[in-house]
């Protein structure tokens, strides 16, 4: 498995290109905008896109996902259906923030315990509500690697002051569903630099073992 980060939109959201090195088939996770840049990155890596994956329904993460899927004839998998209301308002949110966005219906809504295939890779789907009610995390166990969207960041956690956000749900998602995966898991967050679960358990001001003790 290989992964590359392509920041997109004025909010510098981390769109991830992941691919199977055996088949060179891949997926974009959270292609929220700057589609020309994303297509160039895919071509440069020599990857054949199979699908688009979405962690949650916020504008910067999926505002242009439906447009890219339509252009390239690709399926969309994710997020959990509890984020349907966010995706349904993408057109409205795009106008509000001065960004091009279009609502869509995923080919497949995801649930906790589902798996997603990319080439010969199998990613586990972990439902992690809190930032949004339908947020999911994609985890590749053999690589000890996760794409966590806006659940967790290096040194911080996702905001919970948006509609249907819930701070305690977010803390529970991190401590009960991410920490058990292991301290050696490296993750790509929705914004900013990568980190490991172990580092965040030691240093994160919101969810370190010390902060929650």
Q: Which pLDDT score, from 0 to 100, does residue 56 have?
A: 98
Confidence (pTM): 0.98
Q: Are 135 and 166 in contact (CB under 8 A)?
A: no
The pLDDT tens digits for 23-67 are 999 999 999 999 999 999 999 999 999 999 999 999 999 999 999
**Cis preceding-peptide flag for 79 (omega within 30 of 0):** yes
Phi-psi region of 23 (alpha: psi -120 to 50; beta: other; left: phi over 0): alpha
Q: Which pLDDT score, from 0 to 100, does residue 133 have?
A: 98
Query: Which residues contact residue 180 at a Cβ distance below 8 angstroms, ignoring those fewer than 6 apart?
Result: none
């Amino acid at each position: 498995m290989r992964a590359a980060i392509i920041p997109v939109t004025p909010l510098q959201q981390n769109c991830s290109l992941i691919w199977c090195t055996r088949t060179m088939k891949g997926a974009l996770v959270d292609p929220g905008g700057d589609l020309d840049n994303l297509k160039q990155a895919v071509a440069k890596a020599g990857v054949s896109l199979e699908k688009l994956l979405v962690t949650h329904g916020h504008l910067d993460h999926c505002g242009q996902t439906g447009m890219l899927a339509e252009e390239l004839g690709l399926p969309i998998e994710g997020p959990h259906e509890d984020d349907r209301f966010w995706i349904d308002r993408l057109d409205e949110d795009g106008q509000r923030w001065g960004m091009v966005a279009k609502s869509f219906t995923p080919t497949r809504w995801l649930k906790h315990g589902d798996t997603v295939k990319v080439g010969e890779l199998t990613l586990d789907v972990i439902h992690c509500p809190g930032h949004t009610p339908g947020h999911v995390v994609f985890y590749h166990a053999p690589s000890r690697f996760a794409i966590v969207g806006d659940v967790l960041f290096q040194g911080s956690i996702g905001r919970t002051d948006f509609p249907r956000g819930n701070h305690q749900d977010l803390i529970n998602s991190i401590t009960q569903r991410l920490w058990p995966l292991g301290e050696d898991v490296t993750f790509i967050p929705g914004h900013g630099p990568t980190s490991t679960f172990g580092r965040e358990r030691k240093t994160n001001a919101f969810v370190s073992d010390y902060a929650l003790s």
